[in-house]
Chains A and B, each alone.
Chain A
């Protein structure tokens, strides 16, 4: 394979921008086709890039223009970047494929095409967050991601959705403000914005001991800013309202992709800007660990108190974000592998949960309270099975990705210091018990015999695409759960190259 493949990320990024612009003129069905084919094409193209990079066994820097770093913008094309680019395109593809029905029902008439425009923009922002080798480009595309995800949320257009989007946007912009301040301080003390030069300069600064405090400040501002944007505890307050009110497809994209994109960018920051050793000297990882651990527990406690299906899944999302940051704070090698694996797990599971929940609820006449969902699994067998599979994965039963993730966290904990070991194991135990409670409750509910059949049988529109998408989500989850070896090896290998 020739090195022409390395141009693919650039082509995909430009293609996403072009499709987004063109999508504003297309009717809804055409815009949907464009978005779906775009995500599929991205998946295929990045798969080629992945094969090439894996074969070459090294990372590549791709100049955006005629000037190498430190002068011009660059992309960095490596194994982990390609893997996550693939995962994000795949999840977007499946979410759009399976989420047509709620979109058709809930989006304001005449505005459906903008949903797909915004989905294209989310995809491009994620691809750039994954590939960018420049902090300021990262900031610009973080803002695209924020605005586009806000657009995806508010497209439902009723009062409460607009209120929830406003809240989300304000939270998220505060996060970007902190991130930007961190980047500015970092630029001030190093004079660079491109990651390779930053890493060099940061190494030199640490060796000489100059600007220690500003450096610490900038690392913590960047980390906290990204954590706020991902919705880490205690900044998760927007999640339940937002996911509870939005179109389920929007919630799927937001919880499965957008919040994960920021977490992945933080991993990039740790590895490509500070370097893991220097980051671990700064002590910021302990803050992230504590917030993550608290987030896992508080998210699960929030979920167990909810009587509303969507809001319960939303709180569970907050808990999973907690897991990711707990892994980032745990240790440089195994902890990060666990965190990255958890990003993949959550990206593949949460959209399936939201989409299945939306079908179950639609069949029961739009009910979201648990007691009104009784027996939904019989009327909507496919959604019931997919929901159960995803719920098992969230609990961490064997033969699912969730089990592997918990195993990796446990493994990582044994290499960490004793307080972290105890805390991690405690958090794992508590959260598994709580997860079991609230997911088992839901699964038992939907498979309980219904008191009376649903009054109106909702038309099962667009069932094949939903069945395919849900089946793929469930299959990938189980397949990776059974054969997790290659993926975890790949993550470890990618981290060693980072």
Chain B
């Protein structure tokens, strides 16, 4: 390379003629897919002797990349080893496992959840009381994480074209007698079980999330056995959106009401009721229903978008 004065160097840099290309992974510098965007690629023809420089740069980049590839695993193993030793040392100094006297297990928080939870929330299942009453804001956020993910998947995978692979597989599946009979027996049972889990979330183990996932799996099985068109009769893209929207709106507004009342010291109209009854525990049962709907729809929606490109 010939020696440049600072002034020449500056000029070359300003013209973008100095190749700084760095090794390692990374996207190239031209912007935009010309086909899909208005930011058309740079159409200025390259300088004459550029090809040789570029080939040299590519060779250089490949060599550097190979070196990088050899060093990288060693680096990773070292870093991970340091982190694990660090975390294992943390584990040795943490409160002992399974003991009742740790800060987390003996705090006043836990005592109130367990001793007053029944009378304050009306939920026999203390976990349901904690996540849907004491710490309901977390759970509100959580169902919106699911909503965000559903929207993101919708953005990525929603397409109008039919997908031929799934059509072929489906034709085989739809003629299968074993699948149909098993489906006829299993799907109602799974659905029933899911609904039970949702409804009794405040009375025993379960709740909207687990029950919703079970109902979602029943919908997926139904779609596998009888084809997505049959599901689409009841749950097309429009009604899918409306259902999720209604459940989420109900959830947000109900919780807004209860947060507002709580913060301003007002009583809500939903009392804890008689613990142990189906219709008790205030808002927990309707909230579980709303969460169950959202989760079931989202789970089925994920499946349908991944296989069919639409709901």
Asked, given contacts A11-B256, A62-B263, A70-B109, whether A361 binds B138 with beta carbons under 8 Å apart, the answer is no
Give CA–CA (A350, B37) in the complex, Å: 23
**B residues within 8 A CB of A367?**
42
The answer on a CB contact under 8 Å between B136 and A65 is yes
A229-245 interface mask toward B, CB cutoff 8 Å, 1 = contact, 0 = none?
00000000100110011
Give how many A residues have a beta carbon under 8 Å from the other chain's beta carbons: 93
Which residue of the partner chain B has the closest CB to A217? B90
Q: Which of A253-268 contact B (CB under 8 A)?
A: none
A468 part of interface (Cβ distance < 8 Å): no
Asked if B27 lies at the interface with its beta carbon under 8 angstroms from chain A, I say yes
The stretch from A185-193, A376-384, A427-435 touching chain B is A185-193
Nearest CB in chain A: distance from B245 CB, A: 5
Would you call B167 an interface residue if the criterion is a C-beta within 8 Å of the partner chain's C-beta atoms? no
Residue B184 lies at the interface, judged by CB distance under 8 Å to chain A: no
A155 CB contact (under 8 Å) in B18, B38, B155: B155
The answer to whether the Cβ of B133 comes within 8 Å of any Cβ in the partner chain is yes
B36: CB under 8 A from chain A?
Answer: yes
A201 within 8 A of B: yes
Shortest distance between the CB of A59 and any CB in chain B (Å): 15
Q: Which residue among A148, A304, A445 has the maximum number of chain B CB atoms within 10 Å of its CB?
A: A148
With a cutoff of 8 Å between Cβ atoms, the chain B residues found around residue A365 in the complex are 40, 43
User: Would you give the 0/1 interface string for A301-319, flagging 1 where the beta carbon is closer than 8 Å to chain B?
Assistant: 0001111101100000000
Within 8 Å by CB of B103, from A137, A154, A189, A369, lies A189
B138 and A366 contact, CB distance less than 8 A: no
Binds A, one of B64-72, B142-150, B186-194: B142-150
B47 nearest CB across to chain A (Å): 11
Report chain A residues within 8 Å CB of B86.
Answer: 217
* B107 interfacial by beta-carbon distance below 8 Å: yes
CB of A481 within 8 A of chain B? no
Across the interface, name the chain B residue whose C-beta is closest to A458.
Answer: B38
User: Residue-by-residue, is A209-227 near B (CB-CB < 8 Å gives 1, otherwise 0)?
Assistant: 0011110010000000000
**Cβ < 8 Å to B, chain A residues 35-82:** 62-67, 70-73
Mark contacts of A168-199 with chain B using CB atoms, 8 A cut-off: 1 yes-contact digit, 0 otherwise.
00000000000001000101111110000000
Q: Bound complex: CA of A17 vs CA of B248, how far in Å?
A: 9
* CB neighbors of B among A240-299 (8 A): 240-241, 244-245
Is A25 close to B, CB under 8 A? yes
Contact of A137 with B137 in the complex, beta carbons under 8 Å: yes
- Asked if residues B138 and A140 are in contact (CB atoms below 8 Å), the reply is yes
Q: 0/1 per residue, A114-154, Cβ < 8 Å to B?
A: 10011001001000100000101100110110011011001
Q: Is the CB of A185 within 8 A of B94?
A: yes
Residues A21 and B252 in contact in the complex (CB < 8 Å), given A114-B155, A368-B42:
yes
**Is B44 located at the chain interface by the 8 A CB criterion?**
yes
B73 sits at the interface (CB 8 A): no
Stretch at the interface among A156-164, A321-329, A341-349: A156-164
- Nearest-CB residue, chain A, relative to B29: A308
Interface residue B158 (Cβ < 8 Å from any Cβ of A): yes
Q: Are A372 and B141 in contact (CB under 8 A)?
A: no
| B241 & A24 in contact (Cβ 8 Å cutoff) | yes
Is B176 in contact with chain A by the CB < 8 A criterion?
no
B258 interface residue (CB < 8 Å to A): yes
**How many chain B residues have a CB neighbour from A under 8 Å?**
78
Contacting B39 at CB < 8 Å: which of A24, A25, A106, A110? A106
Q: Does B31 contact A (CB under 8 A)?
A: yes
Partner of B42, one of A110, A162, A372: A372
Q: Tell whether A144 pairs with B148 under 8 Å between CB atoms, given A65-B258, A158-B33, A241-B26.
A: yes
A389 within 8 A of B: no
Known A-B contacts A14-B253, A64-B136, A372-B44; the reply to A121 vs B248 at CB < 8 A is no
Query: How long is the Cα–Cα vector from A217 to B142 in the complex, in angstroms?
Result: 27
Are A371 and B15 in contact (CB-based, < 8 A)?
Answer: yes
Among candidates A20, A62, A163, A189, residue contacting B27 with C-beta atoms closer than 8 Å: A163
In the complex where A106-B39, A361-B39, A368-B39 touch, is A24 in contact with B245 (Cβ < 8 A)? Answer: yes
Q: A67 with B151: in contact, given A188-B95, A368-B31 (CB under 8 Å)?
A: no
- Could you say which residues of chain A place their CB within 8 Å of the CB of B6? none
A151-B152, A370-B16 as given contacts; A67 in contact with B37, CB under 8 Å:
no
Which chain B residue lies CB-closest to A117? B151
> Is there a chain A Cβ closer than 8 Å to B14's Cβ?
yes
Return the CB mask of B1-43 against A: 1 if under 8 Å, else 0.
Answer: 0000000000001111010100000110111110011111111
Residue B87 CB within 8 A of the other chain: yes
Q: Which residues of B contact A201 (CB under 8 A)?
A: 103
Q: For residue A368, which residues in chain B have a CB less than 8 angstroms away from its CB?
A: 30-31, 39, 42
A25-B242, A65-B133, A311-B29 known; A369 and B16 CB under 8 Å? yes
Chain B residues near A124 (CB, 8 Å)? 144
**A10 interface hit (Cβ, 8 Å):** yes
With an 8 A cutoff between CB atoms, is A18 at the interface? Answer: yes
Question: Assuming the A-B contacts A73-B137, A159-B33, A441-B14, are A189 and B95 also in contact, with contact meaning beta carbons closer than 8 angstroms in the complex?
Answer: yes
Residues on B close to A: CB < 8 A?
Answer: 13-16, 18, 20, 26-27, 29-33, 36-44, 86-87, 89-90, 93-95, 102-110, 112-113, 120, 133-138, 140-142, 144-145, 147-149, 151-152, 154-156, 158, 241-242, 244-245, 248-249, 252-253, 255-256, 258-264
Top 3 nearest A-B pairs (CB, nearest first) are A191-B107, A73-B137, A305-B20
New contact pairs (14) apart from A14-B253, A21-B252, A114-B155, CB-CB < 8 Å: A25-B241, A63-B262, A64-B263, A118-B148, A134-B135, A141-B141, A148-B148, A150-B152, A156-B36, A191-B104, A214-B93, A367-B42, A369-B42, A372-B44
Could you write out 22 A-B pairs with CB less than 8 Å apart?
Answer: A11-B256, A64-B136, A64-B262, A65-B133, A106-B38, A118-B148, A124-B144, A134-B137, A140-B142, A144-B144, A151-B148, A154-B156, A157-B36, A190-B103, A191-B107, A201-B103, A211-B93, A241-B27, A245-B32, A368-B42, A369-B44, A370-B14
